Every structure is written in C-alpha cells, then in structure tokens.
Structure 1
Amino acid sequence: MTVAQARLAGKVAYITGAGSGIGRAAAQRFALEGARVVIAEFNEALGLSCADAIQATGGQAFYVNTDVTNEDSVRTSIMAATAHWGRLDVLYNNAGGSTSVDAQVTDCPVDEFWRAIRLDLFGTWVTCKYGIAALMRNGGGSVINSSSVFSLVGTRGKDAYTAAKGGISAITRSMAVEYAPHRIRVNALAPAVTMTERVKSLLQTQPDLLNKTCERQLLGLTEPEEVATMAVWLASDESKTVTGQVIAIDGGMSAS
C-alpha cells in the first residue's frame, strides 16, 4: 500500500489503551493506512513495544504515557501529542474493560462500580474534553468511542460495566449533536466478546463460558482486527456524513 492509496494519509490519530488488544490492532492498522499514531498507554512497556513495532514496519508512531482515569495525565498527554505531530485529526477512546469482580447490582462491590466508571466512562469523557478541543483547533475530525454490545442488549453479571458502557453510548449521541457545527463526527463501536490475548486466556480456563458466548454471537467471536477495520472507516473521510451512531460488531448478538 502506498501513501497515496492509504485511507488515513496525513491524519494524526490519538488512541488510548493502544498497547494491547483492540487498541494495539487499531494502532497498527491506522499506521498501515498512513496515519501518524499517538500510542496513549498507561503501561510503558506495552506502549513502547507497540510504537517500536509500528516504526519497525515503516510506520510513524509516538508513545506518551497516559492514565485516562487522571485528568492531569490526559491533558498533558493531549498537549504532548499535538506538540509532537502539530495537529490532531482522530480521537479513538479505546481504553477500558471489565473484570471478573463485576456482578449483578445487588452483589457487585461498590469499588468495582467506580472502577468501571472511572476507567470506561470518565476516561472517555475527559479524553473528549481535551481531545475534542484539539480537533476543533484543527478544523474538525473524528471521535471514535468504545462502547459495548452489552450497552445494547441485556446481559447477566456485568452491571458495573454495562452502566459505564451505556453512558458512553449516550454521550456519543449528545456530543455528535453538539460538535457537528465544528465538523466533528462522534461515533462509537460496540463489540461483543473480542479475542484479545486476555480474553483467550479467560476462555481457555472456562470452556462453558466459551460455549455460551459462541451461542449468542451467531457469526462467531470477534477478532481485534475486525474492530480495527471499522475504526479505520470511521476515522477516514469515507464516513464523513456518519455521526451519532453506536455500531455493533457482535456477530449478530444484538439482532438475536
């Protein structure tokens, strides 16, 4: 693929949680498509590894240590990103995740609720606070949030996670309305169970969970690269009239 053919040529993309899983797959794909990528990651070893891997294949990547649960860290990270590349065109709020501590609301520890809210919902909100301001200075751009299919369908045992992801779906729609006059599109991806290394390890130890998950995801489990493919489309000018959408990547779970 030449730069002239690349769908994201000339764009600067800021991706949180880009050191592993879906975020790493997206960072690598964005770089392949010609973007200059900011690896905004809390784990320094993972973040540097991702940046090094992209650079080793001829891509452009810059790592900045980022804790999305901390406002000062996010503000400093966005400033570092724009200082390094001179602009920001794409904001991909990928950082987040659930834990095995989550449960139905009557059993879920309060600390787990606030962990999910701080990481998933507040992390998205505060990154938008400073990231959208950077997009506005550049004349527009694309925001991609990470929701979940569990914000679209009922599920058991994840009431902290679903609360956070439901909030992300809601603010995605409101921000799409608010920032359309600034030529900023805001959409969210809503994957089902995605085969990251962490999920693979979990499913290997819980075969019953794997079987139940496969039953719900009619077309099979989602791969990180499949989510990254949709993120590229939302980041590109190909989706220039798409905003306020929560797009399920779920193998048919939300339709069944």
Structure 2
Amino acid sequence: MKRFENKVCLVTGASSGIGRATAISFAKEGANVVVSDVNEAAGELVVNEIKALGKEAFFVKCDISQRAEVENMIQKTVKTFGRLDCAVNSAGIAGTLSLPTHEYPEDAWLQQININLTGTWYCVKYQLIEMLKQGGGNIVCVSSAAGLVGQPDNVPYCASKHGVIGIVKSAAIENATKNIRINAICPTAIETPMIMEGRRKLAHNPEALEAAINLQRMKRMGQPLEVADVALWMCSDQSTFITGHAMAVDGGAFA
C-alpha cells in the first residue's frame, strides 16, 4: 500500500522547485493534493500532472504573508477534501540583494520577514487549528541551511529561516502529545529556480555556481526530489518518533 493512500496533503510554494517535487511525490504515493502558490499558471500545470497520475488535486492561490488568504486556503482544503492530514510549507523568497547587515534596506528586510517568517507562522497556525479538530496530522516547514548557520550579506533570509525553526520547535513541543508532529528541513544548494535565477543567479554566474557546488561534500547540487523525499518521510509513519527536528539536507556540507 502506498504511504499516503487517500490522505489529504497540502503543499505551499508548489508551483516550482522543492514544492512542486513534493506535491507530485505525494500524489505518486496515493495522496490527494492541494497545490498552493502565487503563480497560478504554473500551479495549474502541477495540478494537471497530479490528475494525470489518477489522483485528485486543485490549486488555490495564496500569498502566505496575508493571513486571510492562508485561512481561506485551509478552509478550501477542508471544504473540498474533508480534512488535512499533511502539510509541507515550502513557500518562501530569497530576496534580490546581497548587502551587509547595516546597509540592508528596511523594505527588503520586511518583505522577507513577512513572507518567510510571518507567512510560515500563519500556515502552521491554521494547519494546527484544523489538525487539532480532527485529532492529528503532520507538518513540515522548509527552512534552509541559513536557518542553522549565519549567512553574510543575506540577513533577512537568514533571520527568517532561523525563525522558522523556532516556530517548528515551539509548536512541536506544544503538540507532542496530541498526535501532531512538526519538523523542519534545512536544504543547502538545491537546483531550483530560486537559487539558479534568484539573488545569486547561479545559472548565469559560473564562479558562484562552482563555489556553491564546492560547499557540498558530494561536490554537486542537490535536486528538488531529494528534498521532497525527506519531506514525505517526515510526514509518514516511518518517522513517528521524530518531532521538533530540523534536518539538514546538505550533501555533507555541515559534516
């Protein structure tokens, strides 16, 4: 039997990268999937891929920094599928600036904090409300290697991703005896549009790409599916004694 047969799984940031790989992996493992993102066109493509696998899916547009949109996302999930078994909170941004802490502009700081940190809290908050009603569930939040160590010239991203781990650990303790597990994943250099075309533009900067690869002890970029596999394992019955954990998915970078 597939690990998530007839389960209802929600993935934010599901239009590309780690989120997309996670949403499709849930479907391959038998789940019905809620695909959420701000990119509606790309999200609908993911929905079509899932339906082609014979599973049910729908797209809900959601800017996670907006509390009402997150609440609506959860309400639509429950109205459509009746429950919420698993949630992977992958939505986030990396920003576009590389500046030291004292030079970072306030608006750019607030944008990342509002999406990566407050947005993740909104997601966990409303996911928990539903899971507490139904008596259980699993939540995984995508943090970052920058949630475990400092990252120069990228203070809002680093601070927000450290904060995600704080949310995870606090909520995990609160719900440890309530059949709800909450964990975090901390990827390093994963080959996604965010890292290849985002702040560092690795796809267009051979020196920066080589530096990112060399940081990984395996001497290669990670792949979105490799992170998705960890997310599914954390949501599955194969990890029932694990909660409040922040797992590096790092190709040995932190070894």
TM-score, structure 1 length as denominator?
Answer: 0.95
Determine the structure 1 residue equivalent to 2:108: 112
Q: Which amino acid aligns with 2:70?
A: V
Q: Do the aligned residues in 2 keep the contact of 1:140 with 1:184 (CA within 8 Å)?
A: yes
Deviation at 1:200, TM superposition (A): 3.3
Q: Do the aligned residues in 2 keep the contact of 1:15 with 1:92 (CA within 8 Å)?
A: yes
Cα distance in 2 between the residues matched to 1:247 and 1:208: 28
Unaligned runs of 5+ in 1: none
Q: C-alpha offsets along residues 184-239 of structure 1, whole Å, 9 cap, x if unaligned?
A: 10100000111013433421211111111112111121100000000110111111
Q: Do the aligned residues in 2 keep the contact of 1:150 with 1:165 (CA within 8 Å)?
A: yes
Q: C-alpha offsets along residues 38-87 of structure 1, whole Å, 9 cap, x if unaligned?
A: 01111111111110111122222111111101001111110011110000
Determine the structure 2 residue equivalent to 1:207: 206
Unaligned runs of 5+ in 2: none
Moved over 2 A (4+): 197-202
Deviation at 1:103, TM superposition (A): 2.5
Matches within 5 A, 1:132-151: 132-151=128-147
2:84 to 85, 88, 92: 88
Cα distance in 2 between the residues matched to 1:199 and 1:174: 29
Cα distance in 2 between the residues matched to 1:254 and 1:148: 12
Q: C-alpha offsets along residues 14-61 of structure 1, whole Å, 9 cap, x if unaligned?
A: 111111111001000010001111011111111111101111222221
Cα distance in 1 between the residues matched to 2:123 and 2:193: 25
Determine the structure 2 residue equivalent to 1:228: 228
Deviation at 1:88, TM superposition (A): 0.5
Q: Do the aligned residues in 1 keep the contact of 2:189 with 2:213 (CA within 8 Å)?
A: no
Determine the structure 2 residue equivalent to 1:217: 216
Q: Does 1:177 align with 2:173?
A: yes
Cα distance in 1 between the residues matched to 2:214 and 2:182: 32
Determine the structure 2 residue equivalent to 1:9: 5
Cα distance in 1 between the residues matched to 2:38 and 2:231: 21
* Alignment root-mean-square deviation, CA: 1.2
Identity of aligned residues (%): 37
Cα distance in 2 between the residues matched to 1:175 and 1:163: 18
Determine the structure 2 residue equivalent to 1:36: 32
Q: Which amino acid aligns with 2:146?
A: F
Figure out how many residues of one structure are paired with residues of the other and give that number: 251
Determine the structure 1 residue equivalent to 2:251: 251
Cα distance in 1 between the residues matched to 2:231 and 2:55: 18
Cα distance in 1 between the residues matched to 2:153 and 2:170: 28
Q: Which amino acid aligns with 2:152?
A: R
Question: Which sits farther off after the overlay, 57-66 or 33-42?
Answer: 57-66
CA 203–48 in structure 1, closer or farther in 2 if over 3 Å, else same: same
Deviation at 1:245, TM superposition (A): 0.2
Deviation at 1:144, TM superposition (A): 0.2
